[in-house]
Chains A and B, each alone.
Chain A
Amino acid sequence: MNIKDFKKLCDVIYRRVGILIEERKYDSLSKKIEKLIKEKGYEDFRSFFHALRFKDETLMQDIINLVTVNETYFFRENYQFEVLINNILPQMDKELPSNEVIRILCSPTATGEEAYSIALHLLAEGKLVEKRDFEIIGIDIDSNVIAKAKRGIFSKRSVQFLPPNLLNKYFKKINDNYYEIDKFLRDVITFKVVNVMDKFAMKRLGKFNIIFCRNMLIYFDDKSRKEVAMTFYDMLKPKGYIFLGHAESMNRIVSVFKTVKIGNTIVYQKP
């Protein structure tokens, strides 16, 4: 696979799931991708790429698994958290009774960076958490990642986009490569192993004001995607919002959410 093919592949991955793979990764990833192409029985990159784009949805999952090891990180797609903190939550704060807890669900939470990022944004903003209570819950089907989220130890790479003041305030450097998040944060965020397809387990989590479901629905087939979208609809409180990954669109799945554009960010609201 030459560098041109690599760039083509990275472009498709970025458009589908929003993961940006830099050109400098070519040396470390190209051999792994070539191995996958061979394992899957394709003669060359061209036939593999064609199948990936038009025929075999599972190939995208394989290639994503291959390139996304530890790909999640703090403040990923940060513009969405900014919209949450600067627009949506202040509005909710005005509209909801002051004793009502604003509940936020992260699904799938993976190793917890997204849920902790929301908490860090709330703490950095400061005013909202002084006025009312917030609850953040992260769920994932994978028990290993939930254990990691609870442990709260993150690689240097995972925290690389955190503002230095937040990194210094809420993390303890363990060694040159790892940081541990403050115990207070580990204690206030709930992480649970839950399968989104398990409707009753999902219902037991209760109703939420905000759901983050980024880059998950793209891995499902149409039927499961609809089922999960309607489960989220049911789990949202009226006027609650759902955030999807930048390459995903709720309008292509179900039409019951209202599309709201805030700045350059699209969010979906339960009427």
Chain B
Amino acid sequence: MGLKKTNEVEKITRFKSFDEAKEVFINEHNSIDERIEALDYIINHKEIWFVLKMLHELFKTNEMKYHPLIDYAFANFGVKPKRKEDFEEMFKLLKSDNAYLRNAIIEFLKQYGKEAKAFLEELMDSEDRDIRIFAMNILGDIRFEDSINMLRRFILKEKDINALVTAIDYMGEIGDESDIKLLEALKKDIDDPYVHFAIDLAIKRISK
């Protein structure tokens, strides 16, 4: 007994095929470690959209046991999403009933914001109010060169109060003094105390 040294090298689990890996991954009786090994194989052999689709189909509800698998997948995509199919699946995930999966995709988008600009613009034009709010959250965090212009355009056309207030809030963070005029004009156009409060706050923050 005591301190010891081993020179053993751990064998990495190998799968013969994607089907074998998928079988291990979807089987809830397997341990989390076995499922992560299978997921690793899948991530290394399939494109992002495929993995996203699989996550969407398998994890429809928010259960704690899925969290490590979702986190592992999003932490380990080796390449950035760029194909149309990638963004289509990302869009579907934003509408998932599983809040954990939705948040995971938002965080993922934040990391790849610059490359995902066109996708973000699509989100901002979505008919779904919640998706537009997601888009604001992402835009506010990414802060790439054109963020402020995208935000200005959004504020001018947004009709939903909650989405608008989210945008105004971010304007307070990333806007400059030239935006005060726009915010003051908006205040005259919209007669809503909630919006007025958000505008006053944003102007205060910009002026600072």
Contacts and interface: CB of A to CB of B under 8 A. Distances in A.
Interface of A: 101, 119, 122-123, 129-136, 185, 187-190, 199-200, 203-207, 222-223, 226-227, 229-230, 233-234, 238, 254-256
Nearest to A237: B33
Contact of B67 (A101, A132, A136, A255): A255
Contact of A188 (B3, B12, B71, B72): B3
Contacts of B76: 199, 227, 230
B67 A256 contact: yes
Interface in B1-47: 1-10, 12, 31-33, 36, 40
A206 B33 CA distance: 12
Nearest to A205: B10
A175 B106 CA distance: 58
Contact of B75 (A185, A230, A238, A255): A230
Contacts of B111: 222-223
B12 A200 contact: yes
B74 interface: yes
Interface centre among A123, A188, A205, A230 (most CB of B within 10 A): A230
Contact of A133 (B2, B68, B74): B2
Contacts of B72: 230, 233-234
Give the 9 A-B residue pairs with the shortest CB-CB distance, closest first. Answer: A206-B10, A188-B3, A230-B75, A226-B75, A256-B68, A227-B75, A129-B2, A230-B72, A133-B4
Contacts, number: 79
B6 A101 contact: yes
B74 A226 contact: yes
A188 B6 CA distance: 9
Contacts of B8: 206
B35 to A, nearest CB: 10
Interface of B: 1-10, 12, 31-33, 36, 40, 67-68, 71-72, 74-76, 110-111
Contacts of A203: 10, 12
A232 to B, nearest CB: 11
Given A199-B76, A229-B75, A233-B72, A189 B9 contact: no
B6 A134 contact: no
A137 B119 CA distance: 45
Contacts of B68: 230, 233, 256
Query: Which residue, of B9, B71, B110, has the highest number of chain A Cβ atoms within 10 A?
Result: B71
A88 B33 CA distance: 22
Contacts of A229: 75
A205 B7 CA distance: 10
Contacts of B75: 223, 226-227, 229-230, 254
B71 A234 contact: no
Contacts of B31: 238
B5 A187 contact: yes
A230 B111 CA distance: 16
Nearest to B72: A230
25 contacts: A119-B3, A130-B1, A133-B1, A133-B4, A134-B2, A134-B3, A135-B5, A135-B6, A185-B3, A187-B5, A188-B3, A188-B5, A190-B6, A190-B7, A203-B12, A226-B74, A230-B68, A230-B71, A233-B68, A234-B36, A238-B32, A254-B75, A255-B67, A255-B71, A256-B68
A52 to B, nearest CB: 19
Nearest to B31: A238
Nearest to A136: B3
A122 B2 CA distance: 9
B67 A122 contact: no
Contacts of B4: 101, 133-135, 188
A236 B68 CA distance: 13
A207 B40 CA distance: 16
A209 to B, nearest CB: 14
Kindly name the residue among B4, B5, B76 whose own CB sees the greatest number of chain A CB atoms within 10 A.
B4
Contacts of A233: 68, 71-72
